[in-house]
A and B are shown apart, each in its own frame.
Chain A
Amino acid sequence: MSDPEPVDRTRDAGADETRTDADVGAPDDAILRVRDLDAGYGELQILSGIDLDVGDGEYVTIVGPNGAGKSTVMKTVFGLTTYLGGTISFESEPIHELPPERIIHKGISYVPQSNNVFDGLTVRENLEMGAYILDTVPESRIEAVYDRFPVLRDRRDQKAGTMSGGQRQMVAMGRALMLDPDLLLLDEPSAGLAPDLVDDMFDRIDEINENGTAVLMVEQNATEALRRCDRGYVLTQGQNAYTDAGTRLLADEEVRQQFLGG
């Protein structure tokens, strides 16, 4: 883990000469650097020419209309799609040709949108599986996850499949946090949650990020996601449209009209 201090993400604004002052560009200390990425599923190309960066400890959201390829970006970073061209590097190492189990070793964890817990396993077993690549399950990590989600400690012997949507999402995030990743990929973490739980979920993601873990998130609840993140990407038809500070994208009239429903 790196620099645990809160960093002002906007400090790099204007560092890149080609951008206008209003832009908040990618930080120079990007741990994830995606360049000119083409990817898809088999023959079907979804993404073309994607550029995306996530800085160390940064909180980045991808928004865009349905079918823009938001989730595909995330899956491609994690090695779950067909790579067609371009580069993905993580902490300066190319990872675009690695399978998911190798990418986990590099320090990236991924929480899929649905079916993201092992229903037949207990909460504790779910967490243990998150640390499968380690020789022994670090008890301190399990405790850290329990501290973050206290309800999981109370329900550690309960089968994950019998839990509520919000609790399952906590199990899924807890599992992904078991390796203390440098980058956490979250695919629609608020999907399927009752409205009163959505805020709570976003608060927890804030906490995880404040602890130093970089977050790359796809969210249907774009307004809330942009409000909370450091920086947002707007994706349309498998291509980047804009990137800027989340709050500035929110304020942008065009973005609002096109992607956030006015």
Chain B
Amino acid sequence: MGATKLLDRGRGSRSLPLLLAWLVGILLVLDIGARLAGVEIPLAAGRTFGGSMSVAQFGGLVWNGVIVGLIFGLAGIGLSMTYSILNFANFSHGDLITTGAFTGWGAALLVSGWGLAEAGTLLLVRAASGPSPNEIGASIIQAPLAIAIGVVVAAVATVLVTVAIDRVVYRPMRDRGGIALLIASIGVALGLRYVVQFVFGSRSRGVTATDGVRTTIAGVSVNLHELTLFVVALVLMGGMHLLLQRTKLGTAMRAMADNKDLALVTGIPTERVVTATWILGGALAGVAGYLYVLERGTIEFNIGWFLLLFIFAAVILGGIGSIYGAIAGGLVIGLVHEVSLVWISGDFNAAAAFLIMVIVLLYRPEGLFSGVTTA
């Protein structure tokens, strides 16, 4: 009886804030409805409920949310997989994203700008001054092949770096437990970031050409780079889904995420599955970094590190260990990040994204896709 009472009290103290959160959520949705309908009800101190916002404006925010959400989700898949199969939170994942961005864009610029500047300058992603991004013409319109090659190089180069790091650092520590690996991964993150900075320089610079990238398809204005990101991300996510659900390797990865000891006695070659996990996670991280730069147009040595916190938020929100959770969490974080701009300034929207994560975790600690291990 006492235990039941205690439980009830525990629930009671939590249900009020939950109610409040729902209320605020419903109000915000109503507010968006009012704004879209052009209804404006004055409140105190010059504030209004509702207002005016065009459908296109709102649609733009949602679209932006989907785009960043897909980046978070795509990069989050690898983070979630290494968490569930290797049992540690990999803080060097962000810098793998950066690695993919630089190597991929080095290749893309080399192909699209061949002959316009020294190969070294292009390969180092315009480390030195030289032709402008629009002169190099690295865009999906002017050099689709270069952009495609960049995707492949980003994936391959990041995989090589990821597997090398595993062999040198993580593999010898395999049985050391999550905390030791986590701390090692912070060291790897710093090391990798400074290598990238040393090789490619610390200057933030533009890389993509913008001529003709924004166009109109069927009356809707679209940014073709965002559309490319959207399509490539969806294809890769679909591919991961098929790989995990339909192939022997994917089933073995899910089996290992489920129960490592049993995987071992079943005869699953666990080290090979671990390597496959790094390869897939690294490839997705590299491509995510490359696509992120395609969308934002500029590159910098710490982009991945800044993304990492959002990716962790997405993965935790979705339920760590589940790739679908990573994707769903990424979209939620991305949408909140962008749509919150309706009410708050761009300086604070990151806080809104993390607030949502905290609220979800308070009431659903296991994340949105709980109990679905890498499935």
Contact = CB atoms under 8 A, between A and B. Distances in A.
Q: By CB atoms of chain A within 10 A, which of B257, B267, B371 has the most?
A: B267
A100 B264 contact: yes
Interface in B238-282: 248, 251-252, 254-255, 257-259, 261-269
Contact of A118 (B248, B254, B264, B267): B254
Given A120-B375, A128-B248, A101 B267 contact: yes
A121 B254 contact: yes
Contacts of B258: 118-121
A129 B251 contact: yes
Interface string B37-65: 00000000000000000000000000000
Contacts of A179: 267
Interface string A100-121: 1100110000101001111111
A191 interface: no
Contacts of B372: 120
Contacts of A64: none
A173 to B, nearest CB: 13
B185 interface: no
Interface string A113-148: 001111111000100111011000100000000000
Nearest to B249: A132
B265 A133 contact: no
A132 B266 contact: yes
A80 interface: yes
Contacts, number: 66
Q: By CB atoms of chain A within 10 A, which of B252, B254, B255, B257 has the most?
A: B255
Interface residues of A, number: 24
A61 to B, nearest CB: 20
B259 A100 contact: no
B373 interface: yes
Interface residues of B, number: 22
Given A125-B251, A129-B251, A119 B259 contact: yes
Interface string A145-181: 0000000000000000000000000000001000100
A83 interface: no
A59 interface: no
A186 to B, nearest CB: 12
A90 interface: no
Given A120-B373, A120-B375, A132-B248, A101 B264 contact: yes
A77 B213 CA distance: 65
Contacts of A125: 251, 254-255
Nearest to A122: B251
A233 interface: no
B259 A132 contact: no
A117 B261 CA distance: 11
B265 A118 contact: no
A78 B264 CA distance: 11
B255 A121 contact: yes
B350 to A, nearest CB: 33
A175 B267 CA distance: 11
Given A112-B261, A118-B258, A120-B257, A104 B373 contact: no
A215 to B, nearest CB: 17
Contacts of B248: 128, 132, 137
10 contacts: A104-B265, A115-B261, A116-B262, A119-B258, A120-B257, A120-B372, A120-B375, A121-B251, A125-B255, A137-B248
Given A112-B261, A118-B259, 13 more contacts: A78-B265, A100-B265, A118-B258, A118-B262, A119-B258, A120-B257, A120-B371, A120-B373, A121-B255, A125-B255, A129-B251, A132-B252, A132-B269
What are the nearest 5 A-B pairs in CB distance?
A104-B267, A118-B258, A133-B267, A118-B255, A120-B258
